[in-house]
Amino acid sequence: MIHVVRHADAGDRSTWEGPDTERPLTPKGRRQAEAIADALIDSGIDTVWSSRYVRCRQTVEPLASRLGLEVIDHDHLAEGSWGTDALDALLAEADAGRTVLACSHGDVIPELLRAAVRRGATLHGPEMPRKADRYELQVENGEVTKIHHFQRTNG
């Protein structure tokens, strides 16, 4: 099983004065991150991957902390990366028997989902996630078969 989440609310990029890689979650985003942790605490997740961007790491840190897991930065999840590369890396983890949570961005996730659909998966929900939305990807025989969308809570 693969869980993919778009980072929680991090405010407006245009008003942030530092490097975009360091833009943190807003208070609303922190509440959304806690809601994600609540929703996924019993999902059997044993691996947590994230884009290196602070907002992505902060989105999955509450769950990783509760599970006693380390958040592992993964280059294929960073903004501007190829979603097909991210999908292949996630499938390799699932094929190794791991249940993965991956946090990424609004450009990578739709491409990842489209790649899975091109390979035969059925998508139940939109391919463009809002911030803090998540997807559950069911994997059988090394391929994604179904993708279910879960809408964020308002946080």
Q: pLDDT 10s digit of each residue in the chain, 155 long?
A: 999 999 999 977 777 777 777 889 999 999 999 999 999 999 999 999 999 999 999 999 999 999 999 999 999 999 999 999 999 999 999 999 999 999 999 999 999 999 999 999 999 999 999 999 999 999 999 999 999 999 986 65
Instruction: Indicate the pairing of strand 2-6 with strand 134-140.
Output: antiparallel
CATH number for region 2-150 = 3.40.50.1240
Contact (CB, 8 A) for 31 and 59: no
Dihedral pair phi/psi, residue 50, rounded to 5°: -150, 155
Secondary structure letter of residue 63 according to DSSP: H
> For residue 146, what pLDDT is reported?
98
Cβ-count burial 129-140 (b if 16+ within 10 Å, e if not): bebbbbbbbebe
- Write out the two tokens for 56: 């992505």
> For residue 152, what pLDDT is reported?
80
Dihedral pair phi/psi, residue 138, rounded to 5°: -85, 135
Partners of residue 101 on adjacent β-strands = 3, 48
